[in-house]
Amino acid sequence: MALVVQKYGGSSVATPEQIRDLARRIVARHEAGDQVVVVVSAMGKSTDALVRQAHELAEHPDPREMDMLVSAGERISIAMMSIAISGLRPGLAVSFTGSQIGLITDCNHGDARVLEIRGDRLRQALDEGRIAVVAGFQGVSTAREITTLGRGGSDTTAVAVAAALQADVCEIYSDVDGVYTTDPRLAPSARRLDTVDYETMLEMSAAGAKVLKDDAVEYARRLGVRIAAGSSSSGRIGTIVSSENLNRETLQSMVYYDRLRWIAFGAGVPLPPDCRLCQSVEGRTVVVVDEKHAAAMEGVPCVSLSLIGSRVAAQRERVDAVLGMLEEAGNRVLAISSTASKYEIFLEDPLPQPLVAAIHDALFTAGGQ
């Protein structure tokens, strides 16, 4: 018997029919002998709809009230999932909000960080032989206020719960059946990676890969939580993320991200949070930030293309090939940032999908890897 934490995203629970299908799978897992905790996000695009409605009422809604508003979506999801499970096996499921399981955060509304999770009520539910259904994305601050964990925060909830319960595995289900060499929607030839280590996954998430939230991966690395990434539609696990990586390839992933802004600051001006790049150019401090941190600032849209793997910056032949393809296509490079495991190219204009696919194929197919 294993103790399993499963997380399902908004697209997996968008309709009552999808919730019912997942409920059958969850009940089957329970009846096979496993203890199961299920973490769910808000249904479909309901959080986006709430945010839009709030901005119709005020240009800059109060952060505390926004957390109160958007956390409602997960409360609906946990009730719906619990109703579906108990409709199959009466009384089997019990739902919990973030505050009810003791998920304690700091006081940063909209992007809170998990400080601890108590989990006494979860342990009691499991000891009673029940399935616990937990609201992702939300917690309660040290000031006893409702908080949310930022976009993708349900991943972090799932990992935090798995750590608190010392679960055997944290299964995170999404639209894709694992972690790929790049987004399969951009490059049809993208290959699924059977294993990824925490450090590589952190680089991929920080660069903009959408499979797992970087906070969740960091939390898993720090607490030793084994993550299994799989498909919500099939239930198949495709990639294991852990401290061990059996993939010995030096280049493991290419991440394209198109939600950045290039901003120039004069001397003495405070920098925005979470800069992706900070360089001095002609006496000005030039930074690249994610759009979510640039909402109130003027800036020029830009994109990034990141090559991720061990000693990637030293692989000059591959790096030069990518730079050559970009130059031939007329894409101007704004800046380059490199570490031992990531080579990130910042570009002025968005890359067309065929060019992203061509660069991927040059790196990962027909002798590229």
pLDDT in tens, 279-321: 766 666 778 888 876 665 678 899 999 999 888 877 888 899 9
DSSP 209-278: -SSS-HHHHHHHHHHT--EEEEETTT--EEEEEES------S--EEEEEEEEEEEEE-TTPPPPSS-SEE
Tokens of 310: 């061990």
Provide CATH code, domain 253-364: 3.30.2130.10
Phi/psi at 274 (nearest 5 deg)? 55, 55
Say what the pTM is.
Answer: 0.89
pLDDT tens-digit readout, 122-163: 999 999 999 999 999 999 999 999 999 998 899 999 999 999
pLDDT tens-digit readout, 85-94: 999 999 999 9
Contacts 24+ apart (CB under 8 A), 87-94: 87/20, 87/23, 88/23, 88/24, 88/27, 89/27, 91/130, 92/27, 92/30, 92/130, 92/131, 93/130, 93/131, 93/132, 93/133, 94/125, 94/130, 94/131, 94/132, 94/133
Q: What is the rounded CA–CA span in Å between residue 317 and residue 363?
A: 10
Architecture per CATH, 3-174: 3-Layer(aba) Sandwich (3.40)
Phi/psi at 9 (nearest 5 deg)? -80, 175
Bridge partners (DSSP) of residue 206 are none
In the predicted structure, residue 369 carries a pLDDT above the cut 70:
no
> Distance of CA 140 to CAs 60, 143, 303, Å?
22, 8, 35
Amino acid of residue 348: E
Residue 336 near residue 345, CB atoms below 8 Å = yes
Residue extent(s) of CATH 3.30.2130.10 domains in the chain: 253-364
Residue 186 near residue 256, CB atoms below 8 Å = yes
